[in-house]
Structure 1
Amino acid sequence: MKNVYLHSAVSISAQNTFDSDGFLEDIISVSGSTVPAKYPNYRDYISSSASRRMATGVKMGVSAATKALQRAQLGQPDAIITGTGMGCIEDTEKFLNTIIDNNEEFLTPTSFIQSTHNTVGAQIALGLKCKAYNNTYVHAAVSFESALMDAQLVLQQEEARHVLVGGVDELGSEIITHMRHMEDANANGIQVPFGEGASFFVVSSEAKSNAIQLVDMAVCSTVSENTIQQKLNDFLIKNEIQASAIDVLISGRNGDAFDSYYNNVSTELENATELHYKHLIGEFYTASSFGLWTAYEILNRQDIPKDLIYKGEEKSEIKYILLYNQFKGRDHSFILLKR
């Protein structure tokens, strides 16, 4: 079975991750109920006329995808696969409000057409004039992982050589407000702001310098706190890796009651330095794609920004990174990377 490698990684987030050549050096303080992404200059990637008709998520996705292809020195991918939890929620809200305001009459279909979850992947393909395999996964907190797993399978089955894969979500305004109120009403609710962002990667079956190997990944819908450690051990045994070999654990902690899952996983990886990232970018369904971008940068640079460290110390040499994410005790995922 062919190995899978990450050739490039690009992220738009609440931090200065898109336009900067540095790596989380000038941290922007994140607070409040929601935190928007730090948007790039879209004119560098999208024409002004097209940009005016695009929702925030589409503009972020197209820009991040374009830059990921540029960094991988790739003109046309053999497949485009995206993951999104909420899709183009801004246009969805606009369309639903129009239904209410107009008494379900005299509706224009524009907002509905632009609100479909596959709009990001479609716009990327239109811009590239790419007619290759194009798919979008909407699987809540494993939407991005589902897209990445599809890319892995496509490459291993030799149906493609280079795949553009990414995760994107936008804030919107109304639904996210209701979600925030629900969390604030719960003393053990999510303690970080809700956020948005887009991270895209070029994954390939071809090895090259500075490429990071995607060793394996696993997704599970429901796991109890008592059995998550066994799931982790089974995953490591399958890949013939000792727990002591994991140098860094990147966890998706958000401060809610379900962080106990991360505590249990961290206990099994005593030698690993644990990192977290949602306190820097907020929580959203595809936030784990930012975690993968972080892992890619750490393995390439062999450097861990201090603001990411949750527990442990900096490492002089980093070979294996394990990413673990879950949301409300569901949608668990492991991603194992190797330098």
Structure 2
Amino acid sequence: MSAVYINSASCISAQDTLKENIFQNLVPENTVQIVKAIEPKYKEFIPAAMIRRMSKTVKMSSVASHYALQEAGISQPDAIIVGTGMGCSQDSEKFLKNVIDNHEEFLTPTFFIQSTHNTVAGQIALALQCHAYNFTYVNTSSSLEFSLLDAQLQISDGEAENILVGSTDEQTDRTMELYCLHNTIKKERDLPADYLTSTTNGVIWGEGASFFVIGKNKTENTYAKLSNIEIKNRIEINEVQDFIQDFLTRNNLQSQDIDAVILGFSGDAASDGYYNEAMKLFSESSLLYYKHLSGEFNTASGFSVFMACHILKEQKIPEVMMINSEKKEEVKNILLYNHLAGCDHSLVLLERA
């Protein structure tokens, strides 16, 4: 399968990632249980009448996709592919609340129609009047990776040349309450969170939307070359190094060829051991982490892809992301490794374009 290019990258996150000089304005957050995305002024992009009917994830995705297409200089993508773990959960909660409050009678269908996971991809297509391939992946923490893999296959097979690929997830009050009860989210007594050497379970939960234009050809805006992706649902901690080593071998690389490794440390002691094992392979690489900037959520890897794109393009590594002090003169290859609570392990290899 041929490599493809990431020709634009846009992100709405807990950081102010829509502005310029992103690396200079990164602020870690480890003192609250839930971090919210910094939202743009939606009325500058979406008609006021439509804003009222949109859930947060649809609004974030509409703006992020607008920026991604604008940067790539494309008005009509050949396909729209979106990955999401929770979908439009705000509207899902509203619909279920109406079911309970109205005793299952006299229900309006609006919230139900807008609660489906493919609402985001559909709304973007409607706004663009795009009738091309439109698909949504719902694979928890590997939703974006499956979306990128689909785009890579579409381009390799000659089905498309420029594809809008995105990931998005939002927070909802009831879901956050349930996550707290389930101890998915850290207890207040365990804050501030230690992301790298945590002895407590649970994470700080975040949200966000990341969109990219994946193209067949390199352009003057190109951020990176997307070389390969590997996804496994479950592996044991003692299998992590073999999982990564096999991936590198298939790509004709050795561990010393990887200039930077971005790991998904979340501060959850129960599952961060996978990353500790992975680090042992890369003694000569820059080791980075990012969830202290974005929070943990189903598609948090979108934030790491966005940051990796900027690292490759700008040839700079933010100090706030560094685990070790190792820095190479040139960053050519970046490996991204992520999972959620020990499931859905993904590897993404990006190269300097």
Amino acid in the other structure paired with 2:215:
S
For 1:55-102, what per-residue CA distance to the aligned partner results, in whole angstroms no more than 9, with x for missing partners? 000000010001000000111100000000000111111111111111
Does the 8 Å contact 2:3/2:228 carry over to 1?
no
Q: 1:194 maps to which residue?
A: 205
1:206 is paired with a residue whose SS is coil
Amino acid in the other structure paired with 1:239:
N
Shift of 1:302: 0.4
Amino acid in the other structure paired with 1:258:
S
Q: 2:108 maps to which residue?
A: 108
Q: 2:194 maps to which residue?
A: none
Q: For residues 66 and 29 of structure 1, what CA distance do their matches in structure 2 show?
A: 27
Q: Equivalent of 1:269, from 282, 288, 296?
A: 282
Q: Does 1:26 align with 2:4?
A: no
1:175 is paired with a residue whose SS is helix
Does the 8 Å contact 1:83/1:143 carry over to 2?
yes
Identity of counterpart residues, as a percentage? 45
For 1:4-31, what per-residue CA distance to the aligned partner results, in whole angstroms no more than 9, with x for missing partners? 000000000011101x111231234523
1:336 is paired with a residue whose SS is strand
Unaligned 5+ runs, structure 2:
191-198
Q: Does 1:241 align with 2:260?
A: no
Q: Equivalent of 1:208, from 214, 219, 225?
A: 219
Q: For residues 81 and 11 of structure 1, what CA distance do their matches in structure 2 show?
A: 16
1:310 is paired with a residue whose SS is coil
Q: Does 1:338 align with 2:337?
A: no
Shift of 1:253: 0.7
2:326 is paired with a residue whose SS is coil
Does the 8 Å contact 2:8/2:221 carry over to 1?
no
Q: For residues 245 and 150 of structure 1, what CA distance do their matches in structure 2 show?
A: 26
Does the 8 Å contact 1:15/1:24 carry over to 2?
no
For 1:201-254, what per-residue CA distance to the aligned partner results, in whole angstroms no more than 9, with x for missing partners? 000111223521101010000011111111111100100011101010001110
For 1:145-168, what per-residue CA distance to the aligned partner results, in whole angstroms no more than 9, with x for missing partners? 111111111111110000000100
Q: 2:98 maps to which residue?
A: 98
Q: For residues 320 and 14 of structure 1, what CA distance do their matches in structure 2 show?
A: 26
Unaligned 5+ runs, structure 1:
none
Shift of 1:181: 3.0
For 1:259-293, what per-residue CA distance to the aligned partner results, in whole angstroms no more than 9, with x for missing partners? 11001111111111111111111111000011000
2:280 is paired with a residue whose SS is helix
Q: For residues 57 and 176 of structure 2, what CA distance do their matches in structure 1 show?
A: 15
Does the 8 Å contact 2:285/2:327 carry over to 1?
no
Does the 8 Å contact 1:322/1:335 carry over to 2?
yes
CA root-mean-square deviation: 1.4
Q: 2:51 maps to which residue?
A: 51
Q: Does 1:227 align with 2:225?
A: no
Does the 8 Å contact 1:2/1:205 carry over to 2?
no
Shift of 1:52: 1.4
Q: Does 1:280 align with 2:293?
A: yes
Q: For residues 258 and 28 of structure 2, what CA distance do their matches in structure 1 show?
A: 30
Does the 8 Å contact 1:23/1:305 carry over to 2?
no
Q: Equivalent of 1:298, from 311, 320, 326?
A: 311
Q: For residues 312 and 241 of structure 1, what CA distance do their matches in structure 2 show?
A: 23
Q: For residues 274 and 177 of structure 1, what CA distance do their matches in structure 2 show?
A: 33
